Amino acid sequence: MTAADAGSFTSAAERLNLTNSAVGKSVARLEARLGTRLFNRTTRKLSLTDAGEAFYETCVRVLGELQDAEAMLAAQKKEPVGRVRVDVPVSFGHRIALPSLLDFSERHPNLRLHVSFSDRFIDLADEDVDLAIRIGGDNGQHPSLSQRYLGREKVIFCASPEYLHRNGSPESVNDLFKHRHIVYEKQDGSISPWIFPRNSGEVKRRSLQGEMIIGHGEALLAAALGGHGIAQLATWLIEDDLKTSKLIEVLPDFSTDGLELNIVWPKRRKLSPKVDALITFLTPSLKIR
């Protein structure tokens, strides 16, 4: 490009602080690699061939785009800009993640936030998602994903005061199975088992048919609030209802750790400044203690 701009190898050599021979050999090697002649050479004049003109224009455009990209990245280090797409679980997304995402968006007005809500484990790369929050499953252990650990949810048995007034409060696990059960149906159609802590620190899973089967976390909560039975729910979902005594914890000795939560993102994508800034912001606000 310098030779084309300067109009001669001699002038190009002066600009690049090289010898005439070095510039000429570099051009010759490029022409050999491309398999075409880029310059018309005479003793008085150096000019581009048609192929050289086309190659020169492409190089100018590509270098300009590279400079624009470098400038954009430099700007993003100071202020995140552009679109970032996030996928979150439905209930956790509405109740916990969305307020933090809106806070981040308000702090960075040049960022265009795209939030989708899904309880299925989407393919982040195929669906052009920059990062996702996942509860359970393979989390970030999948070889194509990186992860940021947020902790484990705590799950407890609970019911409404009205239900317990009508049916009594269970005082043992055996009593628990004499009650009506509200259970969660997973995306694959299977019923999520109830889990019980063991002295070893592990959990025991027990499958239930359930008198009521619901495939949505907030709908399951609504059924428990409505007095339709006992449910095992994550405390992040029912924290406010416990504080206001709309739900009562039963068998508190059998509360236990539930599923793991992670922020995940595709490994094959270099972590951009805007995504890095969002992960850094979300980690403390969503971390489960």
SS3 assignment, position 127: coil
CATH 1.10.540.10, applies to 2-78 = no
Amino acid 140: pLDDT: 44
CATH 3.40.190.10, applies to 82-151+260-286 = yes
Fold of 153-257: D-Maltodextrin-Binding Protein; domain 2 (3.40.190)
Q: What is the pLDDT of residues 226-276, one digit of tens each?
A: 999 999 999 999 999 999 999 999 999 999 999 999 999 988 665 678 888
- Domain range annotation of the chain: 2-78, 82-151+260-286, 153-257
CA distance 126 to 57: 34
A 10 A CB-CB count for 193 gives 15
Average confidence (pLDDT) over 96-112:
93
CB 225 within 8 A of CB 244: no
pLDDT at 70 over 80: no
Q: Do domains 2-78 and 153-257 have the same CATH topology?
A: no
Residue 3: pLDDT band with limits 50, 70, 90: confident
Residue with tokens 């509405």: 94
